[in-house]
Structure 1
Amino acid sequence: MGFKEPTPIQEKIIPILLETDRDVTGLAQTGTGKTAAFGLPLVDLVDTSSRDIQAIVLCPTRELCLQSNREMENFARFDKDLKLVPVYGGKDMGSQIRSLKMKPQILVATPGRLVDMIKRGLADISKLRYLVLDEADIMLNMGFRDELDYILSEAPDGRQTLLFSATMPPEVARIASKYMNNPIEVSVGKKNSGTDTIEHYYYLVQARDRYNALKRLVDFNPGIYGLVFCRTRADTQMIADKMIKDGYSADALHGDMSQQQREYVMKKFRDQSLQILVATDIAARGLDVNNLSHVIHYELPDDIESYNHRSGRTGRAGRRGTSCAIVNMREKYKIKRIENTLGRKILEAPVPLGEDICEQQLMHLIDRVQNVDVDEEQIAPYIGIIEDKLREVDRDSLLKQFISMEFNRFLTYYGQQQDLKPVKMDNSRDRDRGGRDSRDSRGGRDGGRDSRGGRDGGRDGGRDSNVRYVHMNLNLGHSDRISPQHIISLINRSTKGSKVPIGRIDIGPTKSSVQIDANYAEVVEQAVSKVPFGDKTIEVDVQKGPTSSFGGHSGSSGSGGSGGYRGGDRGGDRGGDRGGSRGGSRGGAPYNKGNAGKGHPRRKFQ
């Protein structure tokens, strides 16, 4: 089954279920292995000689119901006497009634359809021994309070109840208090907190620029494999349609689609035939994908729990992930509330510039060429023909023509587009909206015109052309799903606010090179060495000889030149196989709280 060692939630839950009959509340984020935590013991505990319904697993959505049923069937595939049946809405009830007549021991169900079956006398739960409420907070958010109350009150008193939830809002606490008997609380991480494997950023834009900001974020990350969350079904379809029209490998997932359509889209996304899935919160609940690189909040949700659930779709199974929120001025107050709940800072970042996006795409293209697998035997018959056709083309011309063929569309598009200007916040409005920290996001109390470089702050923003850099090599690369934001954040955290100027960041398959101000080289080396990153311990090698000046922002961690970015093999309509990429991140000053919103040094393409 692929299990090597239990996840923290499995390590804590499985012994309780196997050895006691105590009720349990399990607090854990999505992607932590909850299904196996309750599914493996249930498969072992039910009595296969009995044809009564002994265990019920309640799920909030059809997709999650089917997913959980598939996983548990996999756990039980060697036990021919164990029967599992999924019961959910949106499908003809007749086929599910026929399945119930097979006398399953375990039902995996959505609340509404299970209530229908119980009231019709089609599902007898009088012999129920185990009741699992999976994603209880989501079920309550979806309005299933009455259905849960009915099912819990109908279930026999002697049952063992297991409640799993990523958060513990008052309604979930009410369920636990009313229907559970002195439950054991098992928690993986803090209540309502996020996971440490996810980097959080927000991009402040005008409302009219939201879609353009989304396109720039996707274009800046050529290897992206991500979810874009919208608040309504109509917006989800509209954004997906626009992305498809603009040539992106994208599709929509929402409740107005038929079950067959939704399953088809989710299969394409799981198979990575799609690069971007635009979804509503509820529709994405049944999507089980562990290697997402990004979650993008096209709009912030109304409740903090939904932000946590969305972000938890990335950064799973020890991998790193990035959560990006596109925020307009009226929504900025929500960022502070989310930060207070998560107990961590969400860093403000600038929307990528067109020049930086083009550089990212170019480096991505070059990496694809470098890393392509060459089948000598397959191409051998064509080499002679190709050499004859290209005999009159010299090496430099061939290189330029090759790059132009793939790359011109980005140069043409972004050459005609104005960059999205940084949004300047109204301090009084922001304080009224729920925060006194708006000054901090532009450089503290002195974050006025001078701190942004006067009138020209948008172009030079404190640029110091006299910074001398050395190269710091790290044992992290594309294979570790590292990004410039991760490196910048790592240095920020490790040096505790030293504001280290950073120049170019280059990311290769297994290693990265970062330009560091020579004056800070020893500090950074000592701070970053031996820091854990995923399943690795970071190793640092600093080349002591300074490089030439590279125009970093003075006194700011993560500033200056263009850097690297990771990729991944992504299919899609926009350029075939999307391999690893490098180059192009414009340093990290935007990600340092004291320098958010400052300008970038710019370089012309040669």
Structure 2
Amino acid sequence: MSTFQELGVMPEIQQAITELGFEQPMPVQTEVIPQLLANTRDIIALAQTGTGKTAAFGIPIIQKTDVKHLSPQTLILCPTRELCLQIAGDLTDYSTYVKDIKILPVYGGSSIESQIRTLKRGVHIIVATPGRLIDLIKRKTVSLSNVHTMVLDEADEMLNMGFSEDIDEILSYLPQERSMLLFSATMPKEIEKITRKYMQDPKEITIGRKNEGAQSVRHIYYMVHAKDKYLALKRIVDYYPNIYGIVFCRTRKETQEIADKLLQDGYDADSLHGDLSQAQRDFVMGKYRNHNLQLLVATDVAARGLDVDDVTHIVNFGLPDDFEIYTHRSGRTGRAGKTGTSISIIHTKEKGKVTQIEKLINKKFEKREIPKGDVICEKQLFNFVDKIEKVKVNEAEIERLLPSIFRKLEWLEKEDIIKRIVSLEFNRLIEYYQQAEEIEEPQESSRRNREESRGKRGDNRQENGARKPEKGYARLFINVGKMDGVNPASLMGFINDNVKGKVPIGRIDLMKSFSFFEVPEELAGKIVNTFRGMYIEDRKLVVQLAQEGERPEKGKKKFFGNDYGNKSKKKKFRY
């Protein structure tokens, strides 16, 4: 195995990373660092989250920086504020002994005036989210004319979030003769388009197989009836007493409901979703990073860029429709050389998804039975006993109190004391599971399994709009889909750009030429009326309650509704 010295890393950086606990380079670092130090122009690196990517590009970027030339030399783009701050913090740590190097995180939700002042004083490396960087460029407060290296980190997530046009715009401000490094966990077609457009004969480095899940993560699923999913979640959490995990939910509403239920049931949990302000999100993330929360309940959008190394478990409260999202979810655990577990709570209709995800990540799921109450209690008790064995006793602080305590308890035998300690800690848990009914596992029909593995039943329900919306929500049809370049983020953005007031959007199902999305029932009429008579360039936009229409005939340009309105509301749909 190579050492950092053998990779060509300068002594100042070696000293800093040694103090940070780096011993040997991880595989992605062994592959990428020499290439960047050798000035390879363009590199595509496919590697899972938590494999040491930041050090792979951060170390050579710091080493190649000319600190005497006080202008932006490297630009690192990433999808979220949280990841932006994480990368900037890591680069600052790696460069502790590199004199005069200036690193600036640029992101929304923070004072732009402060960022402008820092830019005017001069920086060498900018770590940015696309939106805020474009704002600064248009204000003419940042110049990218001297940037020689650009990094796109978590490129697939940026595209999923609808940043394609922003990336195009930012790249137009960079010199033609610059190197580009693209990091991605998966390799969708949109990434391939970027590489063809902006890279010259890029060198591809793959750690593991393309789109493959992290090797250090186990994949488990539990099958239950839909009504029992929350009860199953509680049992799973109780079965792993030291869990420090993220529970992924589909919608903001579901996320908040699950977090509230967990809190009511005595768990250290909180929610992270798009309805929270930036200050609220920062507060929740601060609690989670400091281990004051045991469970973070989050939507996929809110958790993007979340970078916490010691997450033990990921729990999928249902599987995502986009299977690459599963790869991102499971990549939040098993990081930095540690092992992790990705758990999915599914019902029979989702069994086919398991098979498809297994093919994508090249790994098999383990099917488990929901833990029985007596097994959970036993595991919790032994975990408690283990903590008692390992607790650090502060003799000096408690010495003066011990004589009084011994006198108070001297009438009790050792066995009685132990029983009382255990009962004090676990009476409530034991009583709950004594009274709780065991969760019944649904029976799988072989015919249904075959149909679901081919995706027939689920797809038909989605394509004809017959899926029942979440309680309190209405399901709407819109005649744009994947072939139009739509993704969930762009669709949500388009709706909120045109409908007055904030629209909480629930489940989104994207089809080839049309889509369905769920909104609160009380807003459905307002949204339908807003888009009535609107055109996307020369095409009539149709938004309507899904159950009112029928599936468009294959091969024909037929959409829901017959009233084509007037063309005065013509506009462009920007993705």
TM superposition shift of 1:80? 4.1
TM-score, reference length from structure 1: 0.70
TM superposition shift of 1:82? 1.9
TM superposition shift of 1:327? 0.7
**1:427 is aligned to 2:446:** yes
**1:170 is aligned to 2:217:** no
The DSSP-based 3-state class of the residue aligned with 1:324 is: strand
The DSSP-based 3-state class of the residue aligned with 2:439 is: coil
The 5 A counterparts of 1:173-192 are 173-192=192-211
Alignment equivalent of 1:91, drawn from 86, 89, 110: 110
Contact preservation (8 Å) 1:230, 1:236: yes
Structure 1 residues 141-150 or 110-119, which shifts more?
110-119
Question: Equivalents in 2 of 1:34, 1:353: separation in Å?
Answer: 41
The DSSP-based 3-state class of the residue aligned with 1:378 is: helix
TM superposition shift of 1:144? 0.6
Equivalent residue, structure 1, for 2:426: 407
TM superposition shift of 1:282? 2.9
Equivalent residue, structure 2, for 1:207: 226
**1:387 is aligned to 2:387:** no
The DSSP-based 3-state class of the residue aligned with 1:101 is: helix
**1:270 is aligned to 2:282:** no
Q: Deviations over 1:125-144 (max 9, x none)?
A: 12221110000000000011
TM superposition shift of 1:435? 5.2
Alignment equivalent of 2:122, drawn from 85, 97, 103: 103
Question: Equivalents in 1 of 2:201, 2:86: separation in Å?
Answer: 30
**1:127 is aligned to 2:137:** no
Question: Equivalents in 1 of 2:413, 2:378: separation in Å?
Answer: 24
**Structure 2: unaligned runs, 5 residues or longer:** 1-16, 456-575
Question: Equivalents in 1 of 2:409, 2:268: separation in Å?
Answer: 33
The DSSP-based 3-state class of the residue aligned with 1:282 is: helix
The 5 A counterparts of 1:187-586 are 187-434=206-453
Question: Equivalents in 1 of 2:109, 2:64: separation in Å?
Answer: 31
Equivalent residue, structure 2, for 1:157: 176
Contact preservation (8 Å) 1:236, 1:279: yes
Equivalent residue, structure 2, for 1:464: none
The DSSP-based 3-state class of the residue aligned with 1:323 is: strand
Alignment equivalent of 1:81, drawn from 100, 105, 109: 100
TM superposition shift of 1:5? 1.5
Equivalent residue, structure 2, for 1:45: 64
Alignment equivalent of 1:23, drawn from 38, 42, 56: 42
The DSSP-based 3-state class of the residue aligned with 1:322 is: strand
**Structure 1: unaligned runs, 5 residues or longer:** 437-606
Question: Equivalents in 2 of 1:344, 1:77: separation in Å?
Answer: 40
Question: Equivalents in 2 of 1:351, 1:114: separation in Å?
Answer: 48
The DSSP-based 3-state class of the residue aligned with 1:381 is: coil
Distance 1:421 1:44, change over 3 A: same
Q: Which amino acid aligns with 1:259?
A: Q
For these two proteins, the number of residue pairs brought into alignment is 436
Q: Which amino acid aligns with 1:409?
A: R
Q: Which amino acid aligns with 1:329?
A: T
Structure 1 residues 63-72 or 427-436, which shifts more?
427-436
TM superposition shift of 1:196? 2.0
Question: Equivalents in 2 of 1:311, 1:50: separation in Å?
Answer: 41
Q: Which amino acid aligns with 1:417?
A: A
Distance 1:171 1:225, change over 3 A: same
Contact preservation (8 Å) 1:336, 1:435: no
Q: Deviations over 1:439-486 (max 9, x none)?
A: xxxxxxxxxxxxxxxxxxxxxxxxxxxxxxxxxxxxxxxxxxxxxxxx
Equivalent residue, structure 2, for 1:554: none
Question: Equivalents in 2 of 1:400, 1:50: separation in Å?
Answer: 70
Equivalent residue, structure 2, for 1:468: none
Contact preservation (8 Å) 1:129, 1:159: yes
Q: Which amino acid aligns with 1:34?
A: K
Structure 1 residues 339-348 or 384-393, which shifts more?
384-393
Q: Deviations over 1:241-298 (max 9, x none)?
A: 2111111111222233232322232222222222111122233233322222211111
Contact preservation (8 Å) 1:61, 1:282: no
Q: Deviations over 1:575-600 (max 9, x none)?
A: xxxxxxxxxxxxxxxxxxxxxxxxxx
Question: Equivalents in 2 of 1:390, 1:46: separation in Å?
Answer: 68
Q: Deviations over 1:9-61 (max 9, x none)?
A: 11111111111242000010001111111111111212222232211000000
The DSSP-based 3-state class of the residue aligned with 1:252 is: strand
**1:136 is aligned to 2:132:** no
The DSSP-based 3-state class of the residue aligned with 2:399 is: helix
CA RMSD of aligned residues (A): 1.7
Contact preservation (8 Å) 2:145, 2:175: yes
Structure 1 residues 130-139 or 270-279, which shifts more?
270-279
Question: Equivalents in 2 of 1:360, 1:250: separation in Å?
Answer: 21
Question: Equivalents in 1 of 2:23, 2:331: separation in Å?
Answer: 23
Equivalent residue, structure 2, for 1:552: none
Question: Equivalents in 2 of 1:95, 1:329: separation in Å?
Answer: 53
Q: Which amino acid aligns with 2:400?
A: P
Equivalent residue, structure 2, for 1:32: 51
Q: Deviations over 1:324-364 (max 9, x none)?
A: 00112222211011011111211111111111111111112
Question: Equivalents in 1 of 2:436, 2:299: separation in Å?
Answer: 30
The DSSP-based 3-state class of the residue aligned with 1:326 is: strand
TM superposition shift of 1:379? 2.5
The DSSP-based 3-state class of the residue aligned with 2:69 is: coil
The DSSP-based 3-state class of the residue aligned with 2:377 is: helix
Q: Which amino acid aligns with 2:387?
A: R
The DSSP-based 3-state class of the residue aligned with 1:154 is: coil
